[in-house]
Structure 1
């Protein structure tokens, strides 16, 4: 069985809850169920500070990434107050997003992780969602990028998965797992984890 690799991109001020689901769910799939699913973490720097000041050491920095080595990109959301958009709107990251999309690879985002997809241009005239509880402020921001905003918890449009708040994080990871394995396999792991 061939390995499949997921790249989880951690921008400054990412939310730890939205990040950890990819590590745990794919860890369960690999360790307990024999799926050859590997996860690499990535950031602009070797140590990335999350929204609530938890430092995480990443496996690779953005300059080391070869998109051809990955099957999917996962992007947790984060807080603007702590500098999230400084990094996710950086042209180097937007270019990485475009390359994943051009090569038809899956891109899964949680909450505000959808906004750099919008800024990159890959969501133009496509359906997506993002954080919805601030009077729709973030959804309006996403709409400005030419996105067809759908106010649903998870929106899948082709190779793109978007969602609207931290509560959706596990379901985004399960959706990505389903796309990389099968619905049947995903349901087995989901049940084993008590969901």
Structure 2
């Protein structure tokens, strides 16, 4: 069983988190049945952007990295305090540990910022929210070689532009964890054009 850890940071976007829940869950039901997703955060209850709350399965301090195959990092809004937790030492250490153990890390939109903060994107290709140039400039200042593409993969790290890319990032992650053929099957069963 390949376990995926979904990191919920204060101010995260529910849509960007939900695509991982659904794609990994659909695989468990209709695909190769070899994935399961768990959530974690700095607290058991995490406020999302727009004011909804989520209850996590685990605290970051409970996580045993060796048990997981991948980490998913949805983005969020600064107005909802996303960056306050995104740059927390515990978040940085978690991301760095996943990378050091050669695990997949998939981020969506502003989820690239805590990934970059860990230092693992330094000198590598990546991207983030593309409709506000200042955000890509900020990511570049963190050592990332910005590519003007919706989804960028470099050294088992996936970054992407905006919420519209989220579901494709989840399918790509599933393809890396299982097989491209399995991911295409799940994608078709979910009603997406393969």
Q: TM-score range by the shorter chain?
A: over 0.9
Any stretches of 5+ residues in structure 1 without a counterpart? none
Alpha-carbon offset, residue 33 of structure 1:
2.5
User: In the alignment, does 2:71 pair up with 1:73?
Assistant: yes
Residue in structure 2 matching 1:120, options 101, 114, 118: 118
The structure 1 segments of at least 4 consecutive aligned residues displaced by more than 2 Å after TM superposition are: none
TM-score (norm 1): 0.97
For residues 112 and 46 of structure 2, the distance between their equivalents in structure 1, rounded to whole angstroms, comes to 19
Partner of 1:156: 153
RMSD: 0.7
Cα distance, 1:152 vs structure 2: 0.7
Unaligned ranges ≥5, structure 2: none
SS state at 2:49 partner: coil
Q: TM-score, normalised by structure 2?
A: 0.97
CA distance in 2, matches of 1:67, 1:175: 21
Match in the other structure for 2:93: 95
Give a deviation string over 1:104-130, Cα, whole Å, max 9, x none: 000000000001111111001100000
CA distance in 2, matches of 1:36, 1:182: 11
Q: Where do 1:138-153 residues align within 5 Å?
A: 138-153=135-150
Matched ranges for 1:1-195 at <5 A: 3-134=1-132, 136-195=133-192
- How far 1:36 sits from its partner (Å)? 1.7
